[in-house]
Amino acid sequence: MPSQMSNTVSTRSSEESRSNRKQNPRLKLTYFQLPHRGEFVRVILAAGGIEYQDDRRDFSGWAELKETLPFGSLPVLYLDDKLFASELSAITKFAGRLGGLYPKDLVEQLRVDEMESKLWGLFEEFNKCYHAGFLPWDPPHSPEKHAEMQREFEKVTFPKWAQSMIEYRKLMGTGKYLIGDKMTIADCYLWVIRNYMESANFNGTPFRGFRKYSFFDPLHKNVTKNEGIKNYYRNLRLTAAEKPLYSRFLRHWNFDDEGHINNTQALSCGGATLRQKREPKENRYIKS
Ligand SMILES: N[C@@H](CCC(=O)N[C@@H](CS)C(=O)NCC(=O)O)C(=O)O
């Protein structure tokens, strides 16, 4: 297996890509071969129709790469091969602005930031309880301790969190998405987090808590329908190590019900005909 893989992800036709390559700065996302933190950025860039190089690393060269990063962690963005941005929250907001998934209105920005913080808080709690030493940097809890933490998460932390989301929505009004009727990065956060939590990455214990709250279902479905996201998964080329992680990650995507694609096709290393080509957003972060 090569020590790193990289996919160029684009919603452009190859002709468009060739002709635009010179004008547009090249954006590269570097992350591990995992659907964890990096997946938030990949999904947001896909939903926004932003072209970038999807640089996926295994752990073999990690020590050397880490030395070159000021904050010593992934994900990071490179622009024209120069380190450009670190820290997930900053990167997802930037990606959201590029692709029109971060509002311009100050109050709406505030709402998106609130949601991001609330969703990330849940995900962090989940990670603490459900990662049982899979990753080199996981804390070394005993299996018994992990089981106890998972029970607490299921019975107390998650229900409290879910109820607070429902109350928040009552206060803030309804819409097709978390913030009104336009999809934002907050919806992508919720989508990735739910898929991830239900996928049993990495320790084989799928989390079923979302199913008890139908409140989350329409929000999830509306993101699933996004063509940019579907195209991203249709064209993904995965290593053998990534396949089991992604096949679980995508398990709850209702491809069949939607009449689109199924998981096998999503994991069949690309090649599927795109159902719809979207015009990419201009790379507005650099003025020519
Ligand atoms: N505050 C950082 C944390 C990033 C982080 O912890 N990344 C993990 C992967 S999900 C990592 O790089 N771990 C390897 C290490 O710390 O050596 C962010 O939000 O981007």
- The CB-based long-range contact list for 104-109 (8 Å cut-off, 24+ gap) reads 108/179, 108/180, 108/184
Domains, the chain, in order of start with CATH, read 4-101+257-265 (3.40.30.10), 106-182+184-224 (1.20.1050.10)
Q: What is the pLDDT of residues 130-184, one digit of tens each?
A: 876 666 666 677 778 888 888 999 999 999 999 999 999 988 888 999 999 999 9
Query: Which pLDDT value is given to residue 166?
Result: 95
Mean pLDDT to the nearest integer, 250-266: 43
Q: What is the pLDDT of residues 186-205, one digit of tens each?
A: 999 999 999 889 887 666 67
Spatial contact of 229 and 223, defined as CB atoms under 8 Å apart: yes
Q: Is the CB of 245 under 6 A from ligand 1?
A: no
Q: What is the pLDDT of residues 40-49, one digit of tens each?
A: 999 999 999 9
Looking at per-residue pLDDT, the higher value among 252 and 26 belongs to 26
Residues forming a β-bridge with 55: 6, 30
From 37, 41, 71, give the residue whose CB has the most ligand 1 atoms within 8 Å, as the site to mutate. 37
Q: 74 alpha carbon to ligand 1 midpoint, in Å?
A: 5
Looking up tokens 């919806």, which residue turns up? 187
Q: What is the pLDDT of residues 39-98, one digit of tens each?
A: 999 999 999 999 999 999 998 999 999 999 999 999 999 999 999 999 999 999 999 999
pTM confidence score: 0.83
* Shortest-distance Cα residue to atom 11 of ligand 1: 73
Q: Is the CB of 73 under 6 A from ligand 1?
A: yes
Residue 256 has pLDDT above 50, yes or no: no
